A and B are shown apart, each in its own frame.
Chain A
């Protein structure tokens, strides 16, 4: 039977994969996908702890995280579309005009 630690280690690994994706990839959409991976890892932690303590709070908080992720994905993608119309590129390095 898997223990709580197994789920937490899996969640940690998924979270680091998401972090690596945000830093390493140079495509705005892949960066947003990596953020979704991180949010999912956090959801897994919540549900695992909820199961450990025998309450429904874990599932409820995970449900709220999902809703917030949906809202954030919608607005993030709208921004990506607006940026793409401006510069025809999805590389975050091409939006560097505010640098000193």
Chain B
């Protein structure tokens, strides 16, 4: 039980700090810590494969991408004095609505879960092996697997095209039309 509480509190605290931090680099690093905690939770759930894949993909690749973008953009801190001095629940308009909504969502979910009777321990199931995951992935989920590869290709091409600077030749041609 103790490892669960350690990882769970680390995940929650890190996530809270992610949305509370003003420096985006610190936000990214805290999110990596949160992913590490989640990876630990996956290990507790006997999901060894998904735990390691979480570190490889999320903490090791996606977050590096975020870090690169934050470093390259080098944007100044965005919060105005107003944002720094008022609590989110007391700010005007959309922000107050959003903060209230998030709190209401949390309360409602926890209440709904408290009413159900799913408080028994997990069944004694054998830990799934990576071989079983592979077999299932390539038999039942083979279509999703192939579509995912096309999705990644589309995302790669899209990212390259969207982030490209317009060269003077193409910019000039567009203006002539």
Contact = CB atoms under 8 A, between A and B. Distances in A.
Contacts of B155: 70-72, 74-75
A37 B114 CA distance: 23
A74 B53 CA distance: 18
Contacts of A34: 18-19
Contact of B31 (A9, A15, A37): A37
Interface residues on B, range: 35 or more
Contacts of A26: 78-79, 83
Nearest to B77: A27
B65 A62 contact: no
* A contact face: mostly helix, strand, loop, or mixed: helix
Interface string B124-153: 010010001100110001001000100110
A48 to B, nearest CB: 6
Contacts of A40: 34-35, 38, 58
A47 to B, nearest CB: 5
A65 B48 CA distance: 17
B128 A15 contact: no
Interface in A23-67: 23-27, 29-30, 32-34, 36-37, 40, 43-44, 47-48, 50-52, 54-60, 62-64, 66-67
A3 B119 contact: yes
B33 interface: no
A15 B1 CA distance: 22
Interface of B: 1, 4, 8, 11-12, 15-16, 18-19, 24, 27-28, 31, 34-35, 38, 41-42, 44-47, 49-50, 53-54, 57-58, 61-62, 65-66, 69-70, 72-73, 75, 78-79, 83, 88, 94-95, 97-99, 101-103, 105-106, 109-110, 113-114, 116, 118-123, 125, 128, 132-133, 136-137, 141, 144, 148, 151-152, 154-156, 158-163, 165
